[in-house]
Structure 1
């Protein structure tokens, strides 16, 4: 079935993808409301904080079951697509020169992933955004308390963070899909507000508590760099085994970053937590520097490939698509070009 891939871009599927990826922002708002309500349940059999953890933990567990059941392994397996939409999705994947899922383990792709600077870029970016996420998510309440708000007030003050994350992630996802070669730029730009907010927390006096609250809210824009690094990874790493290994590296470094971010805030430095804020600021700057370096590198590699193998059009494009379905990596497929 021959379907123009441009039709896919005009359909509502990209919008569904963006909304799905930004669901975490909605979940944050729901979590803040639940925490605020449950925090008033002072006459329950268990303490309010335990009730909050149990309720939100149960909701996450239930959602994980739903996600596992409905999330497809390939576009062709998607239950929520009709046959025409599946064909469109498969053709769109084909034009990425990555083929479909291959369950066979390719040991040479593991070696290639370990030696590819692209993969280490994603791992380091994962650590950087992990540090920011771990620090901001674990110590937002402590920061807000230090600005002069009560414990229950800090809970409801976390409500706007979900809305900010939802708007930023949705907007960034839509722009990345509809504007060619904008991903690296967006990754850099979505780091700027959080960086500015950290500088604000560091320099603004405690007497301007609402300005400090606004700077704290900006830290939840970290959802944007997280999503955009995923988009770049999945667009630029070909070969099923190599992409799986790279995803594993990203998540391992992201988890390590979250642990680091949660352990660089010291109680004796309240309410500004100088060491923690500097640590988060350093992580953001590191991600922005890596993104600039990476973007320039991609431009150079694409030009070098064009000079060596020629433009990807006509028969060369057909060969690149076939090589993608053969599970060749981005290095092995001479027709592969990196997305910026």
Structure 2
């Protein structure tokens, strides 16, 4: 194909945007040679950001403008994301503090029933993760997410009225609805921020889970000590209040969060163009509403996706167990009273939030060059803490280990941010994201099952499983780190060998190419 045969993106996009979309969609506009040496056809089925990218290409951001725009984006998005994620996580841990406030007795739970109640949430999450991700691809992200939030707020409010089978069913439905939140946040973070900014911003909103722990347990403690003032059981009030807060947040999300930066009510016209230029270097764009089978195939055959998949399962086994059994451990294993157990859970959130922020800041401020190195360190600390919890004789040492291991959140945060930065092509990103969250669910389903009722109150098998999972996670992240490093080196050598023969395709950043197709793409470490 000669250069004269290749249409320029502007020519085809004019046709697409003027309405003759169906006929122009698969029309070829260029070809590129992928890093693997394969010839890739670039069609008019490009990223949603391409239209505005054609307008923004002459925009030049000064460093000061870039900093001011970043501060404005952070101001309008990050506080909202943080509070929303904290409230959402409170849904997940309601069982933990309700379990020692009367939930198990009132619903007549025996044996491993409570473990299965905990697993039910993640079974719903597991089943609906891929459909939820596809809904977020097909429909406006913010609007779809707000609908999910409204529905799960209603489900939480209904929980106190249910018997045991009904309660179990509602937990499954709640998991189905909440399966949308993390993929939505991954999409939104990728739309608004540069790749090197993903880690800290993901840390901020994901660490809000720990804020949810602090708020949730403080709230449960207050309800418990004033339980005699309520006409219903205090654990039921917990569900009702948290459900109502979620409903309010769902409405607020609808009006506050734009579906993508080009629709941001808090940006002027120039700033919207500037946002597109800011993320040009991501080579990922905003998204594409059309499902591409070639990207699905690439996703399912990308071994790095499967490394992340296995990592997510292993990393979440400890989380699934401790999210639901931390109060029970403190009450039964450590011997604290119900009231004391609720209070002793608050430091879990404090260590999780401030520990994660402190460790992530070493990358944000350039003290550590690679985020995967930061994650390896954090998982090493978690391994040490879990070993103390599992094997130390001293109650003080075991308690210290229990708290220290909360820094393990950085492992999940790092993997999500690496995924945001290193997987391109919107269909591939959506499907891969679903796979990672299916793995997240699988780990959280397995976790509660490691806490066997016949091993109460010490749960030795569960503690041993936690140690083994963290050790395996460290090995996997090192393999992934080396894989990305080696690929970047290979791409750099190939570019150097081509010299002046290489010509960059204009606006290739918004052509909706995958990380394996785009010769401009480089992996972050």
The two structures have a TM-score, normalised by structure 1, of 0.89
Displacement after TM superposition at 1:177 (Å): 4.1
Displacement after TM superposition at 1:314 (Å): 10
Displacement after TM superposition at 1:157 (Å): 0.9
Name the counterpart of 1:63.
249
Name the counterpart of 1:147.
334
Deviates more, 1:251-260 or 1:211-220: 211-220
Displacement after TM superposition at 1:199 (Å): 0.3
In the superposition, relative to structure 1, how do residues 214 and 86 fare at CA in structure 2: closer, same or farther (>3 Å)? farther
Name the counterpart of 1:8.
66
Secondary structure of the residue aligned to 2:486 is helix
Query: Retained in 2: the 8 A contact 1:21–1:170?
Result: no
Displacement after TM superposition at 1:311 (Å): 9.0
In the superposition, relative to structure 1, how do residues 318 and 23 fare at CA in structure 2: closer, same or farther (>3 Å)? farther
Instruction: Determine whether 1:27 maps to 2:220.
Output: no
Write the deviation string for residues 167-186 of structure 1: whole angstroms up to 9, x where unpaired: 13333444444438512112
Aligned residues: 337
Write the deviation string for residues 273-309 of structure 1: whole angstroms up to 9, x where unpaired: 1111111222211211110000011111011111123
1:135-214 superposed matches below 5 A: 135-145=321-331, 146-179=333-366, 181-205=369-393, 208-214=394-400
**Structure 2: which 5+ runs fail to align?**
1-58, 79-200
In the superposition, relative to structure 1, how do residues 20 and 67 fare at CA in structure 2: closer, same or farther (>3 Å)? farther
In the superposition, relative to structure 1, how do residues 315 and 47 fare at CA in structure 2: closer, same or farther (>3 Å)? farther
- Structure number with higher relative contact order (C-alpha < 8 Å, ≥ 6 residues apart): 1
Write the deviation string for residues 69-105 of structure 1: whole angstroms up to 9, x where unpaired: 5344433334444555544432232111222221121
- Which of 313, 330, 341 does residue 127 from structure 1 map onto? 313
In the superposition, relative to structure 1, how do residues 88 and 314 fare at CA in structure 2: closer, same or farther (>3 Å)? farther
Write the deviation string for residues 101-137 of structure 1: whole angstroms up to 9, x where unpaired: 2112111101110110121122222212221211111
Instruction: Determine whether 1:235 maps to 2:293.
Output: no
Q: Aligned-residue CA RMSD in angstroms?
A: 2.8
Name the counterpart of 1:250.
436
Name the counterpart of 1:42.
227
Query: Retained in 2: the 8 A contact 1:302–1:338?
Result: yes
Deviates more, 1:15-24 or 1:92-101: 15-24
**Structure 1: which 5+ runs fail to align?**
none
- Which of 294, 314, 327 does residue 512 from structure 2 map onto? 327
In the superposition, relative to structure 1, how do residues 325 and 49 fare at CA in structure 2: closer, same or farther (>3 Å)? same
Instruction: Determine whether 1:102 maps to 2:102.
Output: no
Which structure has the greater CA radius of gyration? 2
Query: Retained in 2: the 8 A contact 1:36–1:152?
Result: yes
Query: Retained in 2: the 8 A contact 1:14–1:174?
Result: no
In 2, the alpha carbon distance for the partners of 1:100 and 1:314 equals 31
Query: Retained in 2: the 8 A contact 1:5–1:91?
Result: no
In the superposition, relative to structure 1, how do residues 74 and 114 fare at CA in structure 2: closer, same or farther (>3 Å)? same
Displacement after TM superposition at 1:218 (Å): 2.5
In 2, the alpha carbon distance for the partners of 1:181 and 1:64 equals 38
Displacement after TM superposition at 1:37 (Å): 0.7
In 1, the alpha carbon distance for the partners of 2:500 and 2:250 equals 43
Deviates more, 1:22-31 or 1:259-268: 22-31
Instruction: Determine whether 1:268 maps to 2:268.
Output: no
Query: Retained in 2: the 8 A contact 1:4–1:88?
Result: no
